[in-house]
Amino acid sequence: MSTASVEPSIGWGVLHLFFTVDHARAAEKGAGKQIVDAVASLEADGHQALTFTVLGHKADLGVMALGPDLARLRAFQQELAGGPLTLVDSYVSLTELSEYTTTEEQERVRLVDEEGLCGAELDERLAVWSDRMAHYQEHRIHPQLPRKKVISFYPMSKRREADANWYAQPVEERRRIMAGHARIGRTYAGRIVQLITGSVGLDDWEWGVTLLADDPVTIKEIVYEMRFDEASARYADFGPFVTGLVADPLDALAGVGITS
């Protein structure tokens, strides 16, 4: 009997899975077929998966999978475990909207106070803003993962220390700080894709951050620049980083020595 679907009321489930290769089985004929078939089946079911070879010692192969049904993602995880792979680390999260996103009323007040707009011109600017925000929110909740060359993933949490407690700050102060963080992110538009997913109550950290780019220097630069921003410098703690090279399943398996 198949497991009943488990679909979040908001957003999609996201699984980051990290494997080492069982080299005793990897060279067997068709050893990678089950993995390739599992990815194809998941995508046929309306989910997405990115495969990547991991740089460094933390894992050999990484898979990022996301979609509407947590039960389907769990079944996918089990299918991968049937191949010559050993799961050594993972991360569970959900796509989400930022609670600090500007509301339409806040944008209206800004346009009136800062730009002096009114009447038809104000309505026109608000309509353009609303359309742009709708696209942004759809991308946050239901992202379509691009095929970039490099992926970097890390978890993070907000600090709760006596002299730097994020959750003790008023919402408007938190909104002000996060606005500065967002401004930095926008300067990398077109060069990097950033997906922030929520994991409060779901995994050991509070958020997962996935960065996708064609140039690894871009990933290095955005993380470095944001370290100086108040949101990171004062209030953020970071977990381990995993970096990999994105490839089609067949190429990724060949890259880690699995015969397909």
Dist. CA 190–CA 187, nearest whole Å: 9
Give catalytic residue positions.
Answer: 154
Tally of CB atoms within 10 A around 242 = 21
Q: Is 127 exposed, middle or buried (0-12, 13-18, 19+ CB in 10 A)?
A: exposed
List the helix and strand counts (H, then E) for the chain: 9, 11
Q: CA 105 from chain center: how many Å?
A: 29
Sign of CA dihedral 94, 221, 159, 156: positive
DSSP state of 166: G
Strand partners, 193: 212
Residues in the chain: 260
Dist. CA 98–CA 10, nearest whole Å: 12
State how beta strands 160-161 and 150-158 pair: unpaired
- What are the C-alpha distances in Å from 194 to residues 4, 189, 238, 245? 31, 9, 16, 16
